Structure 1
Amino acid sequence: MKSYLDLLKTRGVGRIMAAQLTARFPFGMLSLAFLLHIERVHDSYGAAGLVLAALSVGQAIAGPLTSRWMGVWGMRPVILLTGIAAAISMGTIAFIEMSVIGYMAVGFIGGLSTPPVQPAVRTIYPKMVNSQQLTPLFSLDASLQEIIWVIGPVVTTFVATQIGTVQAIGVALVFLVGGTAWFLASPELGRVRIPRSKRKMGTVLRKPPVLLATAVGFLLVGACAAVEAGVVATFGHGGPAAGLVLAIFSIGSLVGGLALGHIGISPWALARRMLIVFVGMALATLFLDFWWLSAMLFIAGIGLAPALAVMFSIVSASVKFSDTAEAYGWVGTGQLIGAALGSALAGFLIDAYDAPGAFWVAAAFAFLGFVVAAVFHRASPDLRGRDASPIPDTEPISTLA
């Protein structure tokens, strides 16, 4: 824990970490809020899954594009414009009732305009700490982001069930506007400039670690999206049980990230962490009662944040600084496509087989994630005792005072 406290004492680290977590907090609420809202309007989890899929596909397309644009126009202009468009789309879904196709169209536009806060902050981090601190910083970031998934579902479930689904989306909208404004005001966005990449878009995917992180992230987040839908389908809208189970899932991830964050990253690290996720999710399919699901998803969560931290670290250590934002954009795209597919498949299987269908999807995704990480473990660099900072570009990188 001392290493994490030392990180937070480093100038600017605590501030920008808090700002980016607040800016991203709505996305711990939005999927569940949309799921509850669309299901209420159209009385179908399948319809809600399609809208979430459209949202995630839009985010997936935007990931590498907006990340690359930050190297052309700067971080602040890109994040500001996308934030405004995202806020308008969220408000439209909340306050205007439409057909499923209409919701899908607005959701897709909202996904396209998701502010690229995560690629921006993960590009800034290597410029704020020394090389020995970078891997623990990624682990701390992956762990603390679970606050989003601990508090977000609880707040969403409480507001949606006690007040209304429109108000639940409205709360997420307030966090989006306030958090994005705070992040834009962070001085680090002016001190670090992402250089324009000289390579064609997509070239960074030729790096095996980037491709591995993208593929495993796709499967990991797909599993989590299916779990979220399954928990909501199991406990319904009548109380806080769904939010509490999802919060316990995220608490497991927080505990795992803090406990495993100091361990060196070997080529097998990602496979080991994915195995923990798979075991927990597979056991969760056996009984769908509150205490069993809470315990098994807590176990699954122990591998979640550590797996994400491995992905962030192997990507950082494998690409040039000018390519880091785009690389993280592709990783985010893989995760969002996984969320889209996981949500859609879970929604249809819930309609066909009730809640157990969603947990079957989650276990299958987690198992495939473990298999991919194990079979292609040689694509993951051995970072034990190594610097995880990005590869320097051949030309000077300007840092504004």
Structure 2
Amino acid sequence: MSAYGNLLKTPGVGRVIAAQLTARFPFGMLSLAYLLHVEHIFGSYGSAGLVLATTSVGQAIAGPLTSRWMGSWGMRPVLILTSIVALASMAVIAFVLMPLWAYVVIGFLGGLAVPPVQPAVRTIYPKMVTSKQLTPLFSLDASAQELIWVAGPVITTFVATQIGTVEAIVVAMVFLVVGGVWFIASPELGRVRIPRSKRAFGVVMKRPSVVVATLTGLLLIGACAAVEAGVTSAFGEGSPNAGIVLAIFAVGSLVGGLAFGHRPISPNTLWTRMLIVFIGLGLATFGTGFWWLSFALLIAGGGIAPALAVMFGSVSSTVKFSDTAEAYGWMGTGQLIGAAGGSAVAGFLIDQHGATGGLAVGAAAAFVGVLLPLAAKRWLPDLRGRDASPLPDTEPVTLPT
């Protein structure tokens, strides 16, 4: 814990973490908010899943592309433009009654405009701390990120069930405005310039470490989103129990991240941490009672933030600095697709099999998330005794064989 205390004493670190967390918070809320809002309008989780699926297509296109733009145009112009478009799309979905196809179109445009906050902040982290502090910083950031993907839906569930689905989207809009202004105004964004990459767009995805981290992150966040939909379905509209269970899920992740996320990373670390998630989610499929789900998701949460810390460190240590923003853009795209896709697939199975269908989707995604890094462990770096600093552009990229 002393490593985290020293980090937060470093000038600007605590402020930047808080600002970027607030700016990204809406996108941990929107998948579930849109799911509940569109389902409320059309009476079908399947229709809501269609909107989420097209939103994920927009996110897939935009993530690495807007991240790369930051090396050409600067971070602030790209963040301002995408934030404005994203805010407008959220307002239309919340306040305008439309046919289903129109929600699909607006959702796609909103997906295109997801601000590349995650690639921006993870690109400037190495310039804010010493190399020895970088791995603990990624761990702290991963722990904080769980507030987005796990605690965000808790807020969404509470507001949507106790007040209304429109209000749930409005809360996400408020987070976007406050967090976006706060992060964009951060002086660090003006001090760090992302070098223009000399490589063609998408070449960074030839790095096996980036592919493994992107796909594993997709599966992990997809599992979380499916579980969130399943838990919400299990307790129905109007019950606070869903929010409480998801809060326990968040607590497990935060505790796991702070306790284990800063430990040395080896090629076996990612799959073993994903195994913790799978065990917990597998247990969740055996019952939908309040206490059983609380117990199972507390276990599952313990592996989430530690697994994400491994992904960030693996990518950072195996790509050049000029490619880090695009690499993190692909990772962010994977996670956002996972969030939307997990909710969408779970929505269809909830229509057919009830809450257990959604929980089963989460467990299945987590299981694949164990097998993938286990099979690909020879392509993951061994950071025991090393730091996770990006490779300078003057040096060749090397990976373990």
TM-score, normalised via structure 2 length:
0.96
Q: Who is 1:283 aligned against?
A: 283
- The residue matched to 2:97 in structure 1 has which SS? coil
Give the structure 2 partner of residue 318 of structure 1: 318
Q: List alignment gaps of at least 5 residues for structure 1.
A: 396-401
**Deviations for 1:156-200, whole angstroms, at most 9, x for unmatched residues?**
222222221111111110110111001010000000000100101
What's the CA shift for 1:336? 2.4
Does structure 2 retain, via aligned residues, the 8 Å contact 1:229–1:358?
Answer: yes
Structure 1 residue 261 displacement after superposition = 2.1
Partner of 1:223: 223
**Following TM superposition, by how much is the alpha carbon of 1:250 offset from its aligned partner in structure 2, in angstroms?**
1.4
Residue 105 of structure 1 aligns with an amino acid whose one-letter code is V
Give the match for residue 182 of structure 1: 182
Give, as a single letter, the amino acid of the residue that structure 2 aligns with 1:280.
G
CA RMSD of aligned residues (A): 1.2
Which residue is 2:13 aligned to? 13
Secondary structure at the aligned position of 1:29 is classed as helix
* Cα drift, residue 109 of structure 1: 0.4
The CA deviation at 1:343 is 2.0
**Alpha-carbon offset, residue 354 of structure 1:** 1.2
SS of match in other structure, 2:331: helix
Aligned position for 1:340 = 340
Q: CA deviation at 1:147?
A: 2.5
Q: Is the 8 A contact 1:53 1:339 kept in 2?
A: no
Amino acid at match of 2:11: R
Distance in 1 between the 2:260 and 2:299 partners? 14
CA spacing shift, 1:340–1:167, aligned 2, 3 Å: closer
Question: Percent of aligned positions with the same letter in both sequences?
Answer: 70
Question: What does 1:81-96 correspond to in 2, within 5 Å?
Answer: 81-96=81-96
Q: Tell me the matched-pair count.
A: 395
- Could you tell me which residue of structure 1 aligns to residue 165 of structure 2? 165
The alpha carbon displacement at 1:56 in A equals: 2.0
Deviations 1:313-353 (A, max 9, x none): 00000000000000011111222232333222211111111
Kindly indicate whether the alpha-carbon contact (under 8 Å) linking 1:59 and 1:112 is maintained by their aligned counterparts in 2: yes
Q: Could you tell me how far 1:151 is from its partner in structure 2?
A: 4.0
Residue of structure 2 equivalent to 1:104: 104
Which residue in 1 is equivalent to 2:399? Answer: none
Deviations, residues 217-274 of structure 1 (Å, cap 9, x unaligned)? 1211121121111111111111211122111111111010000023100100001001
Runs (4+) off by over 6 Å: none
Match of 1:354 in 2: 354
Matched AA of 1:264: P
Structure 2 partner of 1:148: 148
| 1:149 CA drift (Å) | 4.1
- Residue 203 of structure 2 corresponds to 203
User: 2:136 is matched by which residue type in structure 1?
Assistant: P
**Aligned partner of 2:140: which letter?**
L
Tell me how far 1:150 sits from its aligned partner. Answer: 5.0
Match of 1:398 in 2: none
* Structure 1 residues 119 and 21: CA distance shift in structure 2, 3 A: same
1:130 matched residue in structure 2? 130
Cα distance in structure 1, aligned partners of 2:72 and 2:3:
35
Kindly provide the amino acid, as one letter, of the partner of residue 13 in structure 1.
V
Q: Residue in 2 aligned with 1:399?
A: none
Residues 57 and 336, structure 1, Cα contact 8 Å, conserved in 2: no
What is the letter of the counterpart of residue 3 of structure 2? S
TM-score when normalising by structure 1: 0.96
- Name structure 2 gaps, 5 residues minimum: 396-401
The alignment partner of 1:107 has SS state of helix
Could you say which residue in structure 1 is the equivalent of 2:387? 387
Partner of 2:70: 70
Instruction: State how far apart, in whole Å, the 1-side matches of 2:248 and 2:83 are.
Output: 30
